[in-house]
Amino acid sequence: MNDTYRHKGLRLQLIESIRRKGIRDERVLEAMSTVPRHLFLDSSFLEFAYEDKPFPIGSGQTISQPYTVAFQTQLLSVKPGDKVLEIGTGSGYQACILTEMGAKVYTIERQKKLYQKTKSFLPTIGYGTVKCFYGDGTKGLPAFAPYDKILITAAATEFPKALIEQLKTGGFLVVPLGDRNMQTMIRLTKKEDGRLEEERFGAFRFVPLLKNKAND
């Protein structure tokens, strides 16, 4: 695996900039300083890998901005051994961060080519434990439910009911909710009596969460 001192140095600078922007969970920062983000971008874009910006990964999709990955991961409060369901595999970067934090990760992608690419790529960089699925993530993955945590990495216009059903009592679901242009980051907590507590955390912009799977 091509991860040099130069890459590690760039990564540590990126982590410091994310820390300055307010991410304080050391376990999140530690995971992000371990996963080599440059391997998730085409090698000709190396200089972009350690900027705090989103980046195109093909099929019209993006790898989320590092700050956004850190923000969602921090809200999820992942503990070692947690079973986590991610909606929107994309490049697989976020799934690797969750894995580094000790989670057992299930991830769903609706675009076939992206799913195939990421599923075959992750084992080559040591993240073969991530379980990749092709399908419509708004339906969740009932076969492996319930999940301790659910993370949606695309913009939803409503809370996906199936996902709430697949969340454990006491579990968190983190989702950017809004319209195409802007979303509010929301954390739902499933209470003992089945009630949902809703917390709101600022504005973000994600690619849309789309219904049904795509064939390309």
Chain mean position to CA 157: 18
Which residue, 65, 93, 49, is CA-closest to 185? 65
Stretch that binds ligand SAH, among 17-25, 56-64, 142-150, 179-187 (CB under 6 A): 56-64
Site string for ligand SAH, 123-162 (x = CB under 6 A): -------------xxx--------------xx--------
Degrees to nearest 5, angle at CA 61 with 56 and 117: 90
Question: How many residues bind to ligand SAH according to rule CB under 6 A?
Answer: 23
- Shortest distance, position 6 Cβ to ligand SAH, whole Å: 23
- Residue 65 in the binding site for ligand SAH (CB under 6 A): no
10: left (phi over 0), alpha (psi -120 to 50) or beta: alpha
Pairing of strands 131-134, 61-63: unpaired
Q: Choose which of 18, 25, 49, 61 interacts with ligand SAH (CB under 6 A).
A: 61
Report in angstroms the alpha-carbon separations of 130 from 61, 95, 98, 102, 124: 20, 7, 9, 11, 12
Q: Which residue is nearest to ligand SAH (CB)?
A: 88
Please report, as ranges, the residues that interact with ligand SAH according to CB under 6 A.
61-64, 87-88, 90-91, 93-94, 108-111, 114, 136-138, 153-154, 207, 209-210
